[in-house]
Each structure stands twice: as structure tokens, then as C-alpha cells.
């Protein structure tokens, strides 16, 4: 049995979406985004006190990129991975892990806009820098899709799209994508997937209370 430990609108959405795409049976345990993750019980699953954590039989994992690789290897017939020897293996791995580059900038902006609760704690400089860095990440995706492909790999949809798509779902709370036609069309295709929609938080839950947070200024 698979159990995913999850907080809405965090990196664990990446694992949830992938499980939904794989079509496997799993149990979802949802936590509030608070000190519950520092409990002794949860630290026994993820010693960093973060999500995701996933139990796959007797195996416990707590790094989203590793979870993606492992699940794709465990269920190869789903076609979400590109295994050793596949001509797109290196490209697939690059995108699966590039999502963390996007996520670190989105996390920094989440800290600035959402977690810090007093204006004097926030830094407009940090906000502007991290927003520009997200823009550079967007440009990498835009360029990859410039040849007219529907997904990040020419062979079609994969866990690479899940990983990067989830990171951009988070990032779009802080940096718009409207000026990037290839990325926007690709992301629109992702939004139409049932597995994506099934991974979204219920109305009114999650970290973000607004759809977009502009750069805060003094």
C-alpha cells in the first residue's frame, strides 16, 4: 500500500499529481502547513519536517525528485518515465530536477509574501530578484517548446511535465506567464488533465489565499 503525506500547495502536490497520473491505489494523509510537521511522529517519516513523505510498502522516501524517479521505475507501463537506455533519458532527468530550480524561487517568494506577516520583515529587493529569476526559468521552458511540441519531451507527456508543471503552478502566484505563448499553451494542456485537477486543494484551503501576489513595494 502507498501512503502519501501531503500539504496542499506544496512540493508534495508533485507526488500527488504523479500518483493520480499513474492510476495506482494510494492513501492520502493531509496535514496543515504548520508545526504539525515538526512532531516526533512526522519526523520519523521525514527528518527534515517537510512534505512530501511517502510510504511504499516498507520503504519510506522524502525527496520529491527521488520519489518521482522511483515511482516511474516501479510502474514503467504507465509511460511516465524514460528509463536507462531511452534516447530522452537525460532530457527527462534534467526536467524532472529542474523543477526544483523553479520551486526554490517560488518558495522564497512564498516566504516573503505569505509567511512573513509584518511589512517590515519583507524585502522588495528580494521579491524583485526572485521574480526575475522565475522569469528566466519560464524562458527556459518557453524555448524548449518553441519547436511546436505539445510537451517537454518530443515523445509526449511524462513525469517531466508533472514536475515542471507543478512548480509553475506554484510560481504563477508570483510571476505571470501570459507573455509566453508556448508555455501558456503547454500549461493550459496540463490544466485540462483530470489528474492535475484532482491534485488541487479544495476551495479555500492551501497556502495561497490570493491567485496572484504582485511585487510588494514600499
* pLDDT score recorded for residue 217: 67
On whether both 74 and 94 belong to a single domain, the answer is: no
Task: Please choose, from the candidates 163, 161, 142, 159, the residue with its C-alpha nearest in 3D space to the C-alpha of residue 151.
Answer: 161
CB 130 within 8 A of CB 113: no
User: Could you give the C-alpha distances from 5 to 8, 58, 124, 159, 182, in angstroms and in order?
Assistant: 10, 15, 34, 19, 33
Q: How many domains does the chain have?
A: 2
On whether both 65 and 102 belong to a single domain, the answer is: no
Q: Which three cell numbers stand for residue 73?
A: 521505475
On whether both 72 and 150 belong to a single domain, the answer is: no
* pLDDT score recorded for residue 204: 85
The enclosing domain of 105 has a CATH number of 1.20.1050.10
On whether both 115 and 72 belong to a single domain, the answer is: no
Residue 12 included in any domain: yes
On whether both 122 and 175 belong to a single domain, the answer is: yes
**Residue segments in the chain with a per-residue pLDDT below the cut of 70:** 217-218
On whether both 12 and 72 belong to a single domain, the answer is: yes
Supply the range of the domain harboring residue 143. Answer: 89-197
On whether both 34 and 122 belong to a single domain, the answer is: no
Residue 171 included in any domain: yes
On whether both 109 and 66 belong to a single domain, the answer is: no
* pLDDT score recorded for residue 28: 98
- Mean pLDDT, rounded, of the chain: 96
* pLDDT score recorded for residue 218: 54
On whether both 46 and 130 belong to a single domain, the answer is: no
* pLDDT score recorded for residue 148: 97
Residue 173 included in any domain: yes
* pLDDT score recorded for residue 216: 79
Amino acid at each position: 500500500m502507498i501512503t502519501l503525506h501531503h500539504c496542499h500547495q506544496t512540493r508534495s502536490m508533485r507526488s500527488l499529481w504523479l500518483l493520480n497520473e499513474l492510476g495506482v491505489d494510494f492513501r492520502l494523509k493531509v496535514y496543515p502547513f504548520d508545526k504539525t510537521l515538526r512532531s516526533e511522529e512526522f519526523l520519523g517519516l521525514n527528518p527534515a519536517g517537510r512534505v512530501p513523505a511517502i510510504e511504499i510498502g516498507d520503504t519510506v522516501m522524502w525527496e520529491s525528485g527521488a520519489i518521482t524517479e522511483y515511482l516511474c521505475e516501479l510502474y514503467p507501463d504507465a509511460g511516465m518515465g524514460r528509463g536507462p537506455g531511452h534516447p530522452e533519458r537525460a532530457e527527462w532527468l534534467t526536467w524532472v530536477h529542474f523543477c526544483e530550480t523553479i520551486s526554490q524561487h517560488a518558495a522564497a517568494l512564498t516566504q516573503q509574501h505569505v509567511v512573513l506577516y509584518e511589512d517590515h520583515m519583507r524585502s522588495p529587493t528580494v521579491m524583485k530578484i526572485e521574480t526575475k529569476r522565475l522569469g528566466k526559468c519560464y524562458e527556459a521552458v518557453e524555448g524548449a517548446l518553441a519547436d511546436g511540441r505539445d510537451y517537454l519531451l518530443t515523445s509526449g507527456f511524462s513525469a517531466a511535465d508533472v514536475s515542471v508543471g507543478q512548480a509553475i503552478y506554484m510560481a504563477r502566484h508570483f510571476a505571470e506567464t501570459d507573455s509566453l505563448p508556448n508555455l501558456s499553451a503547454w500549461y493550459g494542456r496540463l490544466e485540462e488533465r483530470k489528474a492535475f485537477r484532482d491534485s488541487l486543494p479544495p476551495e479555500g484551503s492551501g497556502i495561497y489565499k490570493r491567485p496572484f501576489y504582485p511585487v510588494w513595494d514600499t
